[in-house]
Structures are given as structure tokens and as C-alpha cells.
Amino acid sequence: MIIVADNLTITNPVISDAIAGTDPKPIADMVRACVAAGADAIDINPGPLRKNAAEIMTFLVETVQAETTMPLLLDTTSAEAIAAGLAAARNRVIINGFSLEPQKCRDMLPLAKTFGVDIIGYILRPDSSVPTEAAEFFEITLELIAAAQKAGVTIDRLIIDPVVAPLIWDNGTAHNRALLSFLSRREDLAGAPLQSIAGLSNLSAGRAPGEKKRLVQKTFLPMMAAAGLDMVLMDVFQADVAAVARACDLITGEKIFSWAAIG
């Protein structure tokens, strides 16, 4: 299971200020810290980028890849920013992402085709609401696959995000149960390997003590790993949760087990 750091985000005031001031040092410091914490990939999340989108994403991609050769996830709703980031990238890049919302299909999928990169598809209804029944997960995934193929993006380039729901939502636990069922059965749907990613931090959204948030993350993550999750987007600075992610990878993956790798 690949660990993707979600720490380089505009919701962090240090990163937000660095982006506003085009200051590479705080961003470079963050990347080095994520690498040291055990990240396998870096999610670059500058927000929607309504102004200077291309310039900002180019700056971010160039700054991050000066510090690491890890894969980069470009996480914004701005197609202009995604295109600029793809053009500037030397590292492997994943577009994060698109949904069945018509504009996102129209704007994002052609970029995945043009640049020959993977793209994440969110299991969301066209109005961006989340399903709660496993059957609807499969229905939406089939529509995502059809939209990708129509745009010339092959199924091996598609990474499905079943969208972990906050537990505090009225339908949060029902959605997440359906998510586990979907993950474990998704290859039956596609008839071929279908990559997957999930954002772990969504699970514990809301006000609660940090130790309780980490407990539910450490509980749900092994469930997703056992169901075949390929990539997890998470806060890599939560050392105990990151340790669980690495242990899950050792237990469920194909690597030779080593006690030295636990911890």
C-alpha cells in the first residue's frame, strides 16, 4: 500500500503563506519532513486556484520535485493548474482527480490522455453527493470507467477513490461499510485490476480529541488494506497511524516480511 502524504495543503497556514509569497523554503521543508516520515508520494493541494493558477502550480511542482523523485498528486479543481503542473513535471504525476460532474469529465480527462498519466476518479454522484449502498458504488464506477474510456483513458490509468465519509455524518458508517464491500469486490466489476486510493483523514473529520481520531483511523485503515486498498492519502506526521499503514503494507503486500520494518 502506497502512503501518500496529504500534508502539503493550503489549509496549513505555513503552506498558504508560502504559496502567497512564492517562498520555496517552507514547501521544501515540508517535503523533506514528509519523506523523513515515510511518505511514498506527495499530494500537492493548493486549493481551487482561481487566480494565477498555472504560475502557482508550476512553482509548487518545481519546488517539490527539487527535493524528491517521488510521485506527485496534483490536487486542485483548476484544469489550467493541472495542465501547467503536468507540463513542468519530471516525476511521475497523478491527476487528483475527476468525478461524474460534467465539467470535471470535460476538463480533466483529456489532460490524462494528452500527458499519458494516471487519474483518480471519485465515487460521487453527479451532484457530488455520496452513495450509501454498495450497488451504487459499482454503478458509479462503471460510469467513471465509461467516461474515462470515452476520453481515451485506459482502465489501467484509472485510480478509483470510493471517498471515505466522516463518521459523524448521518450516513457515514453505512457509506464506509459499503466502501469496504466495494473495495473487496471491485475486480469482479472491471474484469481487470482496478487501482484504488482513499483519503483517511476524512474519516475523523469534526471536533474530537486527537487520540480518538487516531484510534478510528488505525481501526479502519487495516480494514481497507485487507479489502485491497492500493494507496492511502493521510497525514504522515501522525506517527502511530503511519506505523499501522506500513505494517498493513507488510502484512497484506508481496514484500518479504521483516520485523526491522515494523515501527
pLDDT in tens, 230-249: 999 999 999 999 999 999 98
User: Is pLDDT of 140 > 70?
Assistant: yes
pLDDT for 8 beyond 80? yes
pLDDT of residue 22: 96
Q: What is the pLDDT of residue 233?
A: 98
Percent of the chain whose predicted confidence (pLDDT) is above 90: 84
Contact between residue 146 and residue 125 where contact means Cβ atoms under 8 Å apart? no
Residue 253's pLDDT is: 76
Confidence band, pLDDT 50/70/90 cuts, at residue 107:
very high
Q: Percentage of the chain with pLDDT > 70?
A: 99
Alpha-carbon distance 10 to 44, whole Å? 9
- The mean pLDDT value for 47-54 works out to 91
- List Cα–Cα distances, 159 to 107, 127, 156, 171, 172, in angstroms: 17, 20, 8, 24, 22
Average pLDDT over residues 35-64: 95
**pLDDT at site 261:** 73
Please say if the pLDDT value at position 190 is more than 80: no
Predicted pLDDT at 263: 63
Phi, psi angles (nearest 5°) of residue 94: -125, 130
Q: How far apart are CA 109 and CA 215, in angstroms?
A: 37
> For the residues 95-102, what does the mean pLDDT come to?
95
Confidence band, pLDDT 50/70/90 cuts, at residue 143: very high
- DSSP for 112-177, written as a single string: HHHHT-EEEEE---TTSPPP-SHHHHHHHHHHHHHHHHHTT--GGGEEEE--PPPTTSTTHHHHHH
DSSP category for residue 230: -
Question: Where do runs of H (alpha helix) occur along 158-238?
Answer: 172-190, 210-226
User: Who's near 150: CB < 8 A, 6+ residues apart?
Assistant: none
Hey, how many other C-beta atoms are within 10 angstroms of the C-beta on 83? 21
Phi/psi of residue 259, each to 5°? -65, -30
